[in-house]
């Protein structure tokens, strides 16, 4: 009797599980047919010969193409103004190997400043001052890191890049006001965007950071992205990493707190330059995060490795 009861119980439980098991969704031919015109991304190489409007086969392709051309148009607009000698664009004069042109929306530069080349001290923009403090950190390495390899791969990328619509060496731009900064920069083979508001009202303050690209393999670029995200998370940023793309955000904090984070972002610009060339293993990511956190921005601990 006990065995029969146990058997009946097992049969009942199996029947219950089968009834609760979710059914596999039925494929909808209409949705499947529409999806292929929306989701796939074919324009994956902005520097390749196939990055043209005629190669757009999906809505995703159109959005990617339009975004890339919009970024190029933004840079080119600044180039044209600079070539005309417009007083609205100023070049930051510095020995730091990071070159940026400033577009002042009002209050970002010292009153009456008309010079084309201005020293960092002439900039009054609170977020830019903080960012530049990080950029100008003594001992910050701007060249290739110790242990960098695959230079041949980097040079190959450089030769391809010179045929792109916006090759290396073109100007970077920062739009500023007294409490606002929007920096769009191309550094070697990656792009950086920093957008921030740093005023008296904490709930309105924010900084957004975006980093994408690299001159080496996808694996190395992804490791550098993981490193950047780890550093940002340690500083209280909310982060999102997708391949070599890193997004980081902080908002609703005091101006004092926000400027501290902008100093960190400035240091990251130099610290991560060409760093993907040294990212040969997953283990090195944690070591380099620790080096940054301990202030070893020149990566001196890796000199003999």
| Best CA proximity match to 174, nearest among 219, 109, 250 | 109
The string over 39-66, giving b where at least 16 C-beta atoms fall within 10 Å of a residue's C-beta and e elsewhere, is eeeebeebeeeebeeeebebebbeebbe
- CA pair distance 111, 94, nearest whole angstrom: 20
The pLDDT tens digits along the chain (305 residues) read 556 665 666 666 655 555 555 566 667 777 878 888 888 888 877 666 778 888 899 998 898 888 778 766 766 655 555 555 544 788 899 888 888 999 998 899 998 888 889 999 999 999 999 999 999 999 888 877 766 655 555 444 444 444 444 445 567 889 999 999 999 888 777 889 999 999 999 999 999 999 988 777 888 889 999 999 999 999 999 999 988 889 999 999 999 999 999 999 999 999 988 888 888 888 889 999 999 999 999 888 777 65
**Degrees to nearest 5, angle at CA 270 with 268 and 276:** 85
- CA pair distance 205, 194, nearest whole angstrom: 13
């Amino acid at each position: 009797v006990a065995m029969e009861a146990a058997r009946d119980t097992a049969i009942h439980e199996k029947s219950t599980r089968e009834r609760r098991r979710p059914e596999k969704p039925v494929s909808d031919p209409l949705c499947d047919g529409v999806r292929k015109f929306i989701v796939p991304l074919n324009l994956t190489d902005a520097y390749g010969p196939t990055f043209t409007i005629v190669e757009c086969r999906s809505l995703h392709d159109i959005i990617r193409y339009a975004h890339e051309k919009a970024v190029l148009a933004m840079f080119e607009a600044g180039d044209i103004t600079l070539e005309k000698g417009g007083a609205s664009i100023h070049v930051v004069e510095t020995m730091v190997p990071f070159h940026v042109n400033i577009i002042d929306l009002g209050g970002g530069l010292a009153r009456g400043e008309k010079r084309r080349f201005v020293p960092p001290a002439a900039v009054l923009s609170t977020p830019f001052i903080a960012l530049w403090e990080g950029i100008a950190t003594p001992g910050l390495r701007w060249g290739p890191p110790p242990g960098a390899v695959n230079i041949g791969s980097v040079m190959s990328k450089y030769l391809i890049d010179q045929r792109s619509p916006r090759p290396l060496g073109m100007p970077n731009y920062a739009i500023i006001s007294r409490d606002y900064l929007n920096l769009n920069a191309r550094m070697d083979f990656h792009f950086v965007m920093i957008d921030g508001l740093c005023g008296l009202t904490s709930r309105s303050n924010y900084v957004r950071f975006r980093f994408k690209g690299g001159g080496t393999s996808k694996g190395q670029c992804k490791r550098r992205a993981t490193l950047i995200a780890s550093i940002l998370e340690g500083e209280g940023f909310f982060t999102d990493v997708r391949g070599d793309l890193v997004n980081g955000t902080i908002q609703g904090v005091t101006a004092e707190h926000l400027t501290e984070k902008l100093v960190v972002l400035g240091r990251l610009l130099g610290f991560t330059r060409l760093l993907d060339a040294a990212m040969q293993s997953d283990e090195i990511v944690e070591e380099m995060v620790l080096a940054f956190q301990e202030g070893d921005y020149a990566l001196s601990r890796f000199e003999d490795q």
